[in-house]
Chain A
Amino acid sequence: MNADNDHKVIIAEGVTKEYSDNGLPVMALRGIDLTIEQGEFAAIVGPSGSGKTTFLNVVSGLDSITEGSVRLDGKLLSTMSGRELSDYRRDRIGFIFQAYNLIPVLTVEENVEYIMLLQGIDKKERHRRVRDLLAQLGLDGMADRLPSRLSGGQQQRVAVARAIVSRPALVLADEPTANLDSKTALDLIDMMRRLNEESGVTFVFSTHDSMIMARARRLIVLKDGRIDRDEAQA
């Protein structure tokens, strides 16, 4: 395990999130206390509506919290401006969503280098990193393809490539295997785990698939917006 116990990537304390759904108040998170250490490979699990996606959104600064605090790399999110948050996500967090991750009008290569373009990395370096990563993820020869010409599994692998190409400290994946068949889903999780082991990138992903849960080293079970269980796995 690559976790560095001295470096806490996420520190969530008493995180509460309430939002309105068609005028009705919904308590999505109820006082979550959670710490994620660097290099972890953690799964957040729970049934639909348990708060998995909301938790990932608030710890990444995509959504605000109602109460409590979230620190990323020691920085308190509530003190960061919108621009700082955008820059922070760009430089420090990789995202993988369950579907529609990619920009349909950009090729595989353009999608993967998108964040590096935002970072202002020069063309040569971008090209090198993209080619290396595509090869590493088994996407050789697909650089010029549009996402619509890839299978679901291939699209998610491209999403993984985009998430890690800028070498973030943390990758947040919201049900990345939800739209994949079992074999492809396991392949994807194994690939993410390999990247975690080889490069030390912290992965936090949500799932409700028991096979995927088994691959995680830490299992955080959410129920009705609260942490029901938090346990390490072999």
Chain B
Amino acid sequence: MRLYMKLAWRNIFRNKRRTFIAGSAIGIGLASLIFVDAIVLGMEENMIHSATASFLGEGQIHRDGFRTTFDVESTIIGSEKVTAKLEAQPVVEYFAPRLLSFAMISSPANVSGVTIVGIDPDREREISQIDEAVIEGTYLDTNSARSIVIGDKLADLMEVELGDRVVLTASHAHGGELSQEMFRVSGIFHMAVDGMDKGMVFISLGKAQQMLNLAGEVHEIALKFNNAEIGHNEQASFWTTYSTDGNEAVGWATLMPQMKAALDFGQFSTLIVGLILFAVVSLGIINTLFMSLYERMFEFGVMRAVGTQPFAMGRLIVFEAGALAAVSCVLGIILGLVVTYVFTRIGIDYTGIEYVGVTFRELLYPVMQLKQYVLYPVAVFLLTMVVGLYPASYAARMNAAKAMRRSF
């Protein structure tokens, strides 16, 4: 065994240029796979962060069915009990209660349908980025019940500016009577998400409860965890603990299935890229090994003549494939590490681009993981050995006399 490993290692350096070219091709393939995977992971993190940190939260609690009916009367059952339980829940870092309802907003110039979101400004600050998205004026003041924060596109539509008055009209819960309230625009935000910038307005939770006749009630509690994994893991016990008494607790993946699908597709894309790269690399390896084999026909003939078994001949070629793979993996790991590291420092600018309802709000930083530098090289190494079986079987079946004749 050691003899053939030694032979294989030395053989691949007989034609250094060819080994370098073949090794570079495999190495670049591996580095590309590492980099693509790091970008996909970075994009995943960025998208999840953009989606969950901007407004959604890492999870939410509602009454069962509220997410589909958006019925104003479907408030969380026992919301005070639920919030008290959340206060004592160690895995929950922050939570923010919200009241939501369809409404009509009118200004002297225009009328539009919107979603009222009643929020506790202090709690909301810890969950969402509404405060950071305010581009004019100020974020909601807890003490000012008549303040309203609207999106910049809605402000344009309504032709209102800071300090202008707007009127919200919504239906009361339990009876359906109309309720109208006048507000002053205290802030204008830009979230770079059309649905929010055109169709969402924020008022204080207390005022919303009063306006909708839902004193002490909330429709939604947005959550942020100490461990973000809970938000990712739909099987976490947290969700079942809070999905009781007619309420449901779900993570972001359930709340944004389109984003979950996009992320799954991203992983699938990595797999496809990997398979294509491996296929191309495999052909390169086969070509290199056959070139090397044809060059050494006489030598192989001599080795067979002096008693080397066919299996040993094949094993030598597989070891040569392995030696080539080892060199290539080292090149690939170094290249992948350097390129990925550089981009983890400088980032990639996708800010402002909206994808499956999520707008990238921060630079995209590739994510380096140990598996990229262990799993992928091991896969490339094993694949190269497997691919080497084809030329190896040719070498094993070689007739010594023919091999020596063919080399002249």
Contact = CB atoms under 8 A, between A and B. Distances in A.
DSSP majority for the B interface?
helix
Interface stretch (B126-134, B214-222, B302-310, B352-360): B302-310
A5 B299 CA distance: 36
A63 B10 CA distance: 30
A167 B214 CA distance: 103
Among B11, B305, B399, B400, residue most surrounded by chain A Cβ atoms (within 10 Å): B305
A100 B302 contact: yes
B346 interface: no
B7 interface: yes
Contact of A86 (B310, B399, B407): B310
Given A62-B400, A63-B401, A89 B306 contact: yes
B298 interface: yes
Interface in A81-107: 82-83, 86-87, 89-91, 94-95, 97, 100-101, 103-106
Contacts of B305: 60, 62, 89, 95, 97
A191 B306 CA distance: 21
A86 B7 contact: no
B363 interface: no
B14 interface: yes
A82 B308 CA distance: 11
Contact of A105 (B14, B298, B399, B404): B14
Nearest to A118: B307
Nearest to A103: B299
A57 B401 contact: yes
A6 to B, nearest CB: 27
A86 B299 contact: no
Interface in A103-120: 103-106, 114-115, 117-118
Interface residues of B, number: 23
Among B11, B299, B308, B401, residue most surrounded by chain A Cβ atoms (within 10 Å): B401
Contact of B299 (A60, A95, A100): A100
Interface in B291-344: 298-299, 302-310, 312
B7 A106 contact: yes
A118 B303 CA distance: 11
A119 to B, nearest CB: 8
A63 B400 CA distance: 8
A145 B400 CA distance: 27
A162 interface: yes
Contacts, number: 64
Given A62-B400, A62-B401, A97-B404, A104 B299 contact: yes
Interface in B366-402: 399-402
A118 B308 CA distance: 7
Given A82-B310, A100-B407, A103-B7, 18 more contacts: A60-B305, A62-B305, A63-B402, A83-B310, A86-B308, A86-B310, A87-B307, A90-B307, A97-B302, A100-B302, A101-B302, A105-B7, A106-B10, A114-B3, A117-B3, A118-B307, A118-B308, A162-B306
Give the 4 A-B residue pairs with the shortest CB-CB distance, closest first: A90-B307, A105-B10, A63-B401, A57-B401
13 contacts: A60-B305, A63-B400, A63-B401, A89-B305, A90-B307, A94-B306, A100-B298, A101-B302, A103-B303, A105-B10, A105-B14, A115-B307, A118-B306
Interface of A: 57, 60, 62-63, 82-83, 86-87, 89-91, 94-95, 97, 100-101, 103-106, 114-115, 117-118, 162
